Amino acid sequence: MTEPITGGCQCGAVRYEITGPMKAVAHCHCSMCRKAHGALFVSFGAVDNSNFKLSGEENLGDYESSEGGHRRFCKSCGGQVIIHGEALGDETFVALGSLDAGQTPGHDPATETHIFWESKVDWYDPADGRKTVEGYGD
């Protein structure tokens, strides 16, 4: 993949570019992700910080939902864009709903997992055939 993967928040105040494919994709069902995004589950792609370039960071709010894990959202439109911080080390988790139309994570599909499946709402199942694990699965 030579062209960068692009995305950002809805209002465009925050934009990013990713060089290289994402390392893994996780669909998270934990209650924190559900509430932060107002969604039934939230999909993230893991990228190395060195491959992730952010513009408009001054427009991002910061909510530290667990120690060293900072959820960054656009202060203008509320778009959840990334999670990063000490707890994630050298990686950034990109909220995949923020990818531009037509963009794909470029990950190895074998890495794609539903995590915190035990926290899933009991009334909806995406039934997509991806593997499921409790917690992070390790």
Summarize as ranges the residues that interact with other proteins (CB under 8 A): 7-11, 31-32, 34-43, 61, 63, 65, 71, 73-81, 95-99, 101-102, 104-105, 119-129
Closest to other proteins by CB, 39 or 54: 39
CB of 88 to other proteins, least distance (A): 16
Closest to other proteins by CB, 66 or 138: 66
Q: Which of 9, 132, 20, 112 is nearest to 61 (CA)?
A: 9
CB of 116 to other proteins, least distance (A): 11
What is the Cα–Cα distance from 13 to 30, expressed in whole angstroms? 28
CB of 137 to other proteins, least distance (A): 19
How buried is residue 75: exposed, middle or buried, by Cβ count under 10 Å (0-12/13-18/19+)? middle
CB of 85 to other proteins, least distance (A): 15
What is the Cα–Cα distance from 43 to 5, expressed in whole angstroms? 16
